[in-house]
Structure 1
Amino acid sequence: MKKQLADTVSAEIGSETIQKQRTPKAFLRTITIVSTFGGLLFGYDTGVVNGALPYMSQPDQLNLNPFTQGLVTSSLLLGAAFGSIFGGRLSDRNGRRKTILSLAILFFIAALGCTFSPNTTVMVICRFLLGLAVGGASVTVPTFLAEMSPAERRGRMVSQNELMIVSGQFLAFTFNAIIGSTLGESGDVWRYMLVIASIPAVVLWFGMLIVPESPRFLASKGKFGDALRVLRQIREENRAKSELKEIEAAVDEEAKIKREKVTLKDLNVPWVRRLVFIGIGVALVNQITGVNSIMYYGTEILKDAGFGTEAALIGNIANGIISVAACLIGIWLLGKINRRPMLIIGLAGTTTALLLIGIFSILLKGTTALPFVVLSLTVMFLAFMQGSVGPVTWLVLSEIFPMRLRGAGMGLCVFCLWIMNFIIGLTFPVLLASIGLSTTFFVFVILGIAAILFVKKFMPETRGVTLEQLEHHFRTYNSQSASQNATMLTK
C-alpha cells in the first residue's frame, strides 16, 4: 500500500511538468495520429500490390502467372490471419505500446525484404512476414485507441484507424500512378512502389517512443501510479482521478471474469454457439462482397476492361478518393442509422454494382466505353462498401460479444475474416484468367445475395441495445421466444 501511494505521489509530481508542456486534448490528438500510422501501413501494404503486380509479373522481373500473382497477394493475408491472433496475445502480455513498436520494426524489415526480393519465393516469404505485422496492427491499434480515449470520444477515435487504412490505400494508388507514369520504362518500377512502405514504419517507431502505454494495461498489471501519470497527460485533473477509480473497479471485475475464461467447451452451449455463428457470418459477409478483389486487383480489372497499365493506375486513384470520402460519411451515418438496415442497403449497393459490371462486360465487350463504365461502377461499389458495409461490420463485431466472450469471439471472427480474404486474394486472378471478368463478378453477385439474406435473417440490431440486453437475448433464445426476441433486436 505504501509503495502504491508513493508511486501515485511520484506520478502526480512528474505529471505537473508534462501538463505545462502540452494540453491533454493536444497530446491525445498526437497519440491518435501516431498510433494510427499502423492503420496507414495496413492500408498501404495491402493496396500497393494493386499497381505493382503488372510490373512484377513481367518476364524480366518475377515472371508471375495468375496463380503466383494470387500467391504473392494472398501470402500477406494468410500472415495477417495469424498476426491477428498472436498480436492480440502479445499486446496482452507485453503491452500495447511495446507491441506496436515491435510491429513497426517488422513492417520496416518486411517492406525492405519485399523491395529487394530476387524471386517469387523470397517475395512470398516477405509478404507473409508483412502480413504478420498487418494482422497484429489490425488488432492492437484499435485496442490501444479504445483504451486511451475518453468514453464520449471512443467511437470517433477508434474509427479514425479505419480512415487511416483507406487513406493508406489511397496513397498507395496515388504513388503507384505517379511512379508508373514517370518510371514505367524501368523494369524495377515495382520496387520503388514497395519501398515507400518503409517510411511510415520509421515514423510509427519514432512516434511511439513519445507515446505512453495504455493506462488500462498498466492498471491490469497493478501499476496504478503509472496509470494515473498517463491519465493526467490525456485527461483533466479531476477526470484522471475519477477514471482511475473506474479502471481499478474494472480490473477487480475482470479478475473475477478471468476465472470463468471462455474455452472451446463453451461451444457446446447453444447460445454461445449461435453468437459465434453470427459473429463469423458478419465477418465473412464483409469479405464475400468481393471488395478486396478490387482493392488488390483493381489495376488488372481495369486492364482487362480495356485500359492500358498507366491509365489503369491513374483510374485507381478514383477508387482511393471515394474510399476515403465514403468512410468519412459512413462514420457519420453510424450515429444516425440502425446497423441492420445500413448494412443491408450497403450490400444491396455493392451487389448491384457487381451485377452491372458483369452485364456491361458482356454487352460492351471490345468497345472504348467499357473501361470507363467499369471504373464508374467500381467507384459506385466502393462508395457503398466503405460508406456502409465496412464501418458496420467492424462496429457490430466489437458490440455483439458480451464481456466474457469478447476476446475469444473477436479473435476467432477476425481470423476467419482474414482467411476468407486470403482465399479470395489467391483465387481471384485464377478466376479472372479462366472464366473472365463478367462470370467472376456474377459469382460475387450470388455471394452478395446470400450475404443480404444472412444479415436479414440472423444479425441482431445492436444500436441502442446494451451489451447486457444482448447477452440476455442470446441466453434466453429458444424456439418459443424467438419471435419476441427477434422483434426486440430488429427494430
Structure 2
Amino acid sequence: MSRHEESEDERIESPAPENHVAIGEVIEFARIYNLSHKLDIFRKASLSIQGDALLEDVPPITDHETAAILGETKSKWRQPLLMYLTVVATALGAMGQGWAQTSMNGANLYFPKAFDLDADTPRNNLILGLINSGIYLSNGLLGAWLVAPLNGRLGRRGAVFSATLVSLLANIGGALTQNWQQLLFFRLVLGCALGIISSTLNVFAAECVPAAIRGGLAVSWQMFCAFGIFVGFVANVAVYDFGPNTWRLQLAGPFLSTIPLLTIIYICPESPAWYLKHGNRYDLAFSSLARLRNTELQAAREVYINYLQRPEKVSTHPSYLQQVVQLATIPRIRRATLAAYTVMISQQLCGINIISFYSSTIFADSNFSTFGALVASTVFGFVNFVGAFPAVWTMDTLGRRSLLLLTLPFMAITMLAAGLSFSVPNHNPAHLWLLATMIYLFCAEYSPGMGPVPAAYTAEVFPLSHREIGVSSAVAVTNIWAAALSLTFPALLSTLGSQGAFVLYALLNLIALGLVFFFVPETRLKTLEELDEVFSIPTRRFVAYQVTEYLPWWVRRYVLRRKKVELKPLEGSGVYQELYQDEE
C-alpha cells in the first residue's frame, strides 16, 4: 500500500480553490466503493492531502489524528500491535525455512551411513546433492510458480496457512523415512511449501508495513531465517549423541516453528493491496488497513491516495501465462524483473547457502570432531543472526543497493582467505582457527547486506498487477540456482577440494558485485507506487550513468578524497504512461 510522506516543515497540502469539486469526487468514491458510512473520514483524508496549509489548520481533524500523521516520520516505529504481528508471521515463516536448511546440515553427518550412501562415489555424491538441494529444486521448479494461483484463490493468509500445514507434515514425514527415496520425496514436498510461504509472506509484509519502515522490517525475513539457522544448529548439537535416530530428530525439529505460524496468520488481517487487486474492494482494503494503522484517518489517506494514483485503465485480467510473458515484454516490469533476478542470483553466487548446508561437513573434513563441527556451525548460525540487526537501521538509511556494494568486496576477500587457510596443514591449529574466523567474518558481512536485501528488494519492486508472479518467479530463479549449486557442491569438493571451491566462490562474489553495480537501482524510502518512476529509466541509460557519472564520482569522492564533488542525479520521466515505452 502507498503512504503519504510529510515534508520536514510538517506542512501538508491545503484545499484548492475548487475544493468543492474534490469533495464531490470523495463522495462519489465513497458511494461507489461502499464507504459512505466512512464519508467523514475520507473527507478528512482528502483535505489533509491538498494544498500547503498546516495540518492543524485543516478541520475537522482532531489533535490525536494530527499527531498520528506527523508521527509517521517523527515516531515511525510506533505502530499497532497487529501490524507488528504480520511481521512476526513473516519471522516465523523465515525461521522455519532457516531451520529446515540446517536440520539437513547436521543430518548430513548421519543419514548417509543409515542409507549406505557414505562411500565417496559419483552415484552417492549425486544422491546426496539431490537430497540437499531438494527443497531448492522443488521450490524453483514448482513451489514458487504456485504462489500466484494460490494467492489469487486463497488470499495471502490462506496460501500461507495451507503451505504451512503441508510444511508441518513434510518435516515429520522426512524424519520417519526408511530409505533415501522417501527422504528425497519429503524434501521435495517441503521445498514446494517453503516456496509458497517465503514468496507470499515477503509480499504480505511489504504490503502491510508503512513505507518509512518497510525496509527495516523487511529485514525480519533474513534476520529470522538466520535465527532459524542458528536454532537449527543448536538443535543439531542438542541431539548429536542420540544414536542412529539423531538425524531423524534433527529433520523433525523445524515442525515446531509451523505451529505458532498457523495461529498467527489466522489472526492477521488480509493484505489491503490484495483486496485492491482482486475486485477493487476499497471498502475491505480500508477495513484491513484501519487495523494496521494507528488511526482510521491514516488508513483512509493511504487508501484514497492509492485510488488517486492508480491509472485509468480498462479492467483486464491477463492470464497466468500472459503475466509470465509480461515480465519480459513490458519495459517497466522487465526492468524490475532484471533487478530482482540480479539480487537473487547474486545471493546464490556469494556461496552462503553452500556454507549453510555443508558447514558441518567442511569443518569435519578439517579435522574437527563431530561435536566440534556442530558447535562451529552453531557459532556460524549465531553470527548470521546477530549480523542481521544492523540492517534494520541501515536498510532505510544507506539503502539496498549501497549495502550490497559495500559488503560484496569484503565477502570476496574473506571467502578467498578461507580458501587460502587450507594451505595450512590440518594438524596445525592455525588452520582450524583461520578457517573458522574467515567463515564467521564472511557471514558477518553477508548478514546486513546480501542476506536481507534480496527478499526485501524483490518484494517491493514489482507493481501490484504483477507482484505475486514477479516475486514468485524471482524466488524460483534463486532456488533453481541454489539447487544447482547444492547439487554440484559434493562433486565440486571432490574435484577442486575445499580450497579450490572457496577460491571459486570468492571470484563469484566479484561477479555478483558487477551485476549489482550495473543492474540494481536504489529503492530506499520509495512507496510501492513511486517505484514506477525508478523503473521508468531505460536499462542502457542506467548502465551508462553508472559508468560515466557514478563511478567517476565515487573515485573522486572516496579515492581522491575530494569532499565537495557532487554527483549528478539520474531522474526518471515521472510519467506513468511512459513506463511502457519500448526503449531499453
Q: Structure 1 stretch 224-233 or stretch 201-210: which is displaced more?
A: 224-233
1:286 and 2:350 equivalent?
Answer: no
C-alpha offsets along residues 245-281 of structure 1, whole Å, 9 cap, x if unaligned?
3455567768758679755377467887666444433
For residues 250 and 31 of structure 2, the distance between their equivalents in structure 1, rounded to whole angstroms, comes to 56
* Superimposed CA distance per residue, residues 156-206 of structure 1 (whole angstroms, 9 cap, x where no aligned partner): 3322222221111110011111111xxx15101111112121222122112
Mean Cα displacement is larger for which, 107-116 or 453-462? 453-462
Higher relative helix content: 1
Are residues 254 and 322 of structure 1, via their aligned partners in 2, closer, same or farther at CA, if it must alter by over 3 Å? farther
Alignment equivalent of 2:201, drawn from 133, 138, 141: 141
Partner of 1:240: 299
Q: 2:249 aligns with which of 173, 178, 192?
A: 192
1:123 aligns with 2:183: yes
Match of 1:207 in 2: 264
Write the mapping of 1:139-288 to structure 2, written as runs, cut at 5 A.
139-180=199-240, 184-219=241-276, 220-235=278-293, 236-249=295-308, 264=325, 267=328, 276-288=337-349
Correspondence 1:350 to 2:424 = no
Query: What is the aligned residue count?
Result: 475
Out of 467, 472, 475, the position equivalent to 2:536 is: 472
Match of residue 19 from structure 1 = none
**Are the aligned partners of 1:61 and 1:188 in contact in 2 as well (CA < 8 Å)?**
no
Is contact 2:354–2:485 with CA below 8 Å preserved after alignment?
A: yes
1:104 aligns with 2:164: yes
**Equivalent residue number for residue 17 of structure 1:** none
Deviations 1:134-157 (A, max 9, x none): 111111011112222233332233
Measure, in 2, the Cα distance between the counterparts of 1:480 and 1:326: 34
Specify the code of the residue in structure 1 equivalent to 2:536.
H
What's the secondary structure of 2:177's corresponding residue? Answer: coil
Please state whether the residue corresponding to 1:163 is helix, strand or coil. Answer: helix
CA contact (8 A) 1:306 1:370 kept: no
Is the 1:306–1:368 Cα contact (8 Å) retained in structure 2? Answer: no
Identity of aligned pairs, percent?
Answer: 23
Does the aligned pair in 2 maintain the 1:107–1:198 contact within 8 Å? yes
Q: 2:437 is matched with which residue?
A: 376
Farther-moved stretch of structure 1 (251-260 vs 127-136):
251-260
Quick one: which amino acid aligns to residue 477 of structure 1? Answer: R
CA distance in 2, matches of 1:263, 1:133: 21
Structure 1 residue 66 corresponds to structure 2 residue 125: yes
Cα shift at 1:124: 0.6
Q: Which amino acid aligns with 1:142?
A: N
Please state if 1:304 is matched with 2:365. yes
Question: Which deviates further from its counterpart, 472-481 or 66-75?
Answer: 472-481
Equivalent residue number for residue 16 of structure 1? none
Q: Say whether the 8 Å CA contact 2:418–2:438 is kept in structure 1.
A: yes
Structure 2 contact 148–469 (Cα < 8 Å) conserved: no
Distance 1:91 1:105 in 2: 16
Query: Which one is further off, 204-213 or 477-486?
Result: 477-486
Given that 2:166 and 2:193 are in contact with CA atoms closer than 8 Å, whether structure 1 keeps it comes out as yes
| Structure 2 contact 143–196 (Cα < 8 Å) conserved | yes
Q: Can you give the 5+ residue segments of structure 2 that lack an aligned partner in the other structure? A: 1-29, 42-77, 551-567, 572-584
Aligned to 1:390, the other structure's residue is in SS state coil
Distance 1:59 1:138 in 2: 31
Equivalent-residue separation in structure 1 for 2:532 and 2:540 (angstroms): 12
Structure 2 residue 111 is matched with structure 1 residue 52 = no
Higher Rg of the two aligned structures: 2
Distance 1:347 1:333 in 2: 16
CA RMSD of aligned residues (A): 3.4
Residue identity matched to 1:319: F
Choose which of 439, 444, 454 in structure 1 pairs with 2:515: 454
**Higher mean C-alpha displacement, 286-295 vs 349-358:** 349-358
Residues in 1 aligned to 2:357 and 2:491: alpha-carbon distance in whole angstroms: 14
Paired residue secondary structure (1:388): coil
Deviation digits for residues 216-263 of structure 1, max 9, x if unmatched? 323433544444433333322322333343455567768758679755
1:389 match: 450
The one-letter code of the counterpart of 2:409 is A
Letter in 2 for 1:470: V
Instruction: State the TM-score, normalizing by the size of structure 1.
Output: 0.86
Q: Is the 8 A contact 2:424 2:430 kept in 1?
A: no
Report the Cα distance in structure 2 between the residues aligned to 1:440 and 1:222, rounded to whole angstroms. 52
User: Given the alignment of the two structures, is residue 75 of structure 1 paired with residue 130 of structure 2, yes or no?
Assistant: no
> Is the CA contact (8 Å cut-off) linking 2:336 and 2:535 kept in structure 1?
no
Gaps of 5+ in 1: 13-22
Name the amino acid aligned to 1:284.
I
Match of 2:80 in 1: 25
Q: Secondary structure at the match of 1:101?
A: helix
**Which amino acid counterpart does residue 397 of structure 2 have in structure 1?**
K
The residue type equivalent to 1:34 in the other structure is A
